[in-house]
C-alpha cells in the first residue's frame, strides 16, 4: 500500500517537473522533480525499510535532499539535532498504545456484532459497544504508527526544521502520522484527516482532491466523495472499506453544515451548543462507520448498522439536506449592525 503511493507520487512529481511553474500549486512547486532520479535513488526511496510496511509516506524530493545533505539537512555551523529524545518519546508512546490495545481487545471482540446477545441489547448499549470497539481498534494503529515514527526519526529523515523559539528546538513532524488526543477529542469530522493517518491524508489532498478542483471554482461534495472512494480502493476491495469511506464523505459533509451554522450566529451560548453538537455527532458517526472498516464483510457491517437503525447514515444525510433548506448566512458583527 505504501509502495503504491510512492510510485504514483514519484511519477506525478516528475510529470510536474516537465510543466511550467506558472499555474502550479504550492505543493506541486515544492515537490516537483526537475530531473529523473537514478535507478538506485528510486529503489532506495521505494524500499526505505523504516516506512516500507506501515508508512508514513513522504516525498521523493525530501528523500533526495536527506540523502544528499541538502535543504534543511545541509551541513552548517549549527549543531545537528539529536534524534534520540524524540525517538525515545515515540517508543514510549508505542509501548503505552500496545498495552492499551492488549488490555482492551479481549473485552470487545468484533464477533460480538453477529452474536444473539448483541441483538438483545438496547440502543444505547449497542452504540456504546460500537464506540468501545472503535476505540479499542484505534490503539493498534497508534502503536504501529508510533513505531514507524521512531524509525524515521532516528534515521534523521523525520527532521522537519527548527522552532521559532529562543533557543530554537528541532521539530520531528515529518514522520508524525497521528495525533491521538486530536482523534479521540475531535470537535469536528472535518479535522479527522488532519490528525488520523496524517501523511496519507496529505497525499490524498495533494494528488487526488486538489487535482479534481476546476480552476476558479470551490471544491464540493464530488471532490470529497471521489477522494474517499480512491482511499477505499487503495485500502482494498472489501465491502466494509467501500461503505466506510462513503460514510466518511457523508460524515464530513454533515459536519461542515453544523460548522456553518455555528459560524452564522453571534450568540455565545448557541455557538457552544453547536460546538458540542459537532463533537457528539463526530463521536457517534465515526464509531458507527468504523465498524465497516474493522469487520470488512457486508453481512457484519449491515448487521451492526441495522441494529442501531442506520442512525449514523441517516443523520449525515439529514444534515446535508437541512443545509440546503436552512442555509447558513454569515453572522453580522455588532459594530456592523450599529453602523
Q: What residues act catalytically?
A: 235
Helical residues (DSSP H) of 180-333, grouped into ranges? 180-184, 192-195, 198-204, 221-235, 239-263, 268-295, 298-307, 311-325
Distance in angstroms (rounded) separating the CA atoms of residues 285 and 282: 5
Count other C-beta atoms under 10 Å from residue 248's C-beta: 26
Asked if 10 and 45 touch (Cβ cutoff 8 Å), the reply is yes
The continuous run of DSSP H or E covering 162 comes out as: strand 161-162
Give the closest residue to 290 by CA, choosing from 172, 196, 187: 196
Distance in angstroms (rounded) separating the CA atoms of residues 125 and 131: 10
Please give the grid coordinates belonging to residue 199: 501523511
The continuous run of DSSP H or E covering 140 comes out as: helix 123-155
Residue with cell 454533515: 254
How many Å from the N-terminal Cα to the C-terminal Cα in the chain? 57
Give the closest residue to 192 by CA, choosing from 134, 245, 252: 252
Distance in angstroms (rounded) separating the CA atoms of residues 101 and 272: 33
Q: What is the DSSP letter of 171?
A: E
2-17 and 39-46 helices, crossing angle to 10° = 140
Taking the CA atoms of the chain, what radius of gyration do you get in angstroms?
Answer: 22
> What φ, ψ does residue 151 adopt, rounded to 5°?
-65, -40
Strands 170-171 and 161-162: antiparallel
Distance in angstroms (rounded) separating the CA atoms of residues 185 and 290: 16
Amino acid at each position: 500500500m505504501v509502495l503504491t503511493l510512492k510510485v504514483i507520487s514519484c511519477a506525478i512529481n516528475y510529470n510536474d517537473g516537465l510543466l511550467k511553474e506558472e499555474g502550479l500549486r504550492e505543493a506541486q512547486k515544492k515537490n516537483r522533480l526537475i530531473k529523473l532520479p537514478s535507478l538506485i535513488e528510486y529503489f532506495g526511496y521505494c524500499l526505505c525499510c523504516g516506512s516500507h510496511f506501515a508508512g508514513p509516506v513522504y516525498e521523493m524530493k525530501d528523500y533526495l535532499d536527506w540523502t544528499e545533505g541538502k535543504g534543511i539537512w545541509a551541513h552548517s555551523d549549527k549543531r545537528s539535532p539529536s534524534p534520540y529524545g524524540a525517538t525515545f518519546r515515540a517508543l514510549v508512546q508505542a509501548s503505552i498504545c500496545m498495552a492499551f490495545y492488549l488490555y482492551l481487545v479481549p473485552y470487545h471482540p468484533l464477533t460480538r456484532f453477529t452474536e444473539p446477545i448483541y441483538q438483545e441489547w438496547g440502543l444505547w448499549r449497542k452504540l456504546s459497544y460500537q464506540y468501545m470497539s472503535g476505540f479499542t481498534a484505534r490503539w493498534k494503529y497508534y502503536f504501529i504508527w508510533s513505531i514507524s515514527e521512531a524509525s524515521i526519526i532516528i534515521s534523521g529523515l523525520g527532521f522537519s526544521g527548527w522552532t521559532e523559539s529562543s533557543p530554537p528546538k528541532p521539530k520531528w513532524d515529518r514522520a508524525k502520522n497521528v495525533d491521538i488526543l486530536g482523534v479521540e477529542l475531535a470537535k469536528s469530522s472535518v479535522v479527522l484527516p488532519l490528525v488520523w493517518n496524517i501523511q496519507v491524508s496529505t497525499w490524498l489532498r495533494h494528488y487526488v482532491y486538489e487535482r479534481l478542483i476546476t480552476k476558479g471554482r470551490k471544491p464540493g461534495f464530488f471532490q470529497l466523495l471521489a477522494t474517499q472512494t480512491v482511499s477505499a480502493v487503495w485500502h482494498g476491495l472489501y465491502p466494509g472499506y467501500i461503505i466506510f469511506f462513503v460514510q466518511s464523505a457523508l460524515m464530513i459533509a454533515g459536519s461542515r453544515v453544523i460548522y456553518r451554522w455555528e459560524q452564522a450566529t453571534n450568540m455565545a451560548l448557541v455557538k457552544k451548543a453547536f460546538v458540542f453538537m459537532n463533537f457528539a455527532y463526530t463521536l457517534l458517526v465515526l464509531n458507527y462507520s468504523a465498524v465497516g472498516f474493522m469487520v470488512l464483510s457486508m453481512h457484519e457491517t449491515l448487521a451492526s448498522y441495522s441494529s442501531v437503525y442506520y442512525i449514523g447514515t441517516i443523520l449525515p444525510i439529514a444534515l446535508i439536506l437541512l443545509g440546503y433548506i436552512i442555509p447558513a448566512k454569515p453572522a453580522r458583527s455588532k459594530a456592523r449592525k450599529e453602523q
